[in-house]
Structures are given as C-alpha cells and as structure tokens.
Amino acid sequence: MDPLRLEQHLEAVPGQYPSRFSSPAQRALHLDGVTRIRPVAASRLPWPHGLFKCPYGERAKTLATTYPKGHSKTAHAELFTQLNEQGFAACP
C-alpha cells in the first residue's frame, strides 16, 4: 500500500479507531488468511482434559470435585501443573 494512502487510512474517523485496512474484507483476509483458519497463541487453547485411557483420569475427576460445577477443565489444568516430566510422558 502506498504510504500516502496508508496515512489517509490511519486518520481517525469520529467514533472509530484508525485502521490499516481499506475494507472489512481486507481485515478478514489479514486475520483469517486464505484458509479462514486464524492462528491463536498456545496459551489461549484449553488444557487437555478427559483424554482416552489417561492414567491420571481418576485423579483429575477427584480434583474436579473440589471445583464449582462446570470448572473441570480448570481442575485438569491444576493437575497438569502437578505432573513432572515422566508424568507428562505417561499421558497419551
């Protein structure tokens, strides 16, 4: 994009933030790419939970009972913080 044109796009429109994108389609292409798959940081992904044949399944279920209903993923995250290198290796 030509620098002068970019500068025009960066000028504030009342009630809106300045944008580098000339259209909503350009913004979507930038964020979602051609395949429409948006990359996210690994830290934003949910913790693994309820894995098939996990040797820590029962331990995770027991820990989940100490959390409010609907927070079993949080319990699994806590369990993962308690595992050592061999513990992670044992998970499928």
- Residue 92 C-beta-side C-alpha neighbours within 13 Å: 9
Tokens representing residue 31 in the block: 């964020």
Q: What is the mean pLDDT of residues 32-42?
A: 78
Per-residue confidence (pLDDT) for residue 66, from 0 to 100:
92
Report how far residue 54's alpha carbon sits from residue 4's, in angstroms, rounded to the nearest whole number.
58
Q: pTM value?
A: 0.47
Lowest mean pLDDT across 3-17, 20-34, 38-52 = 3-17
Q: Are 6 and 20 in contact (CB under 8 A)?
A: yes
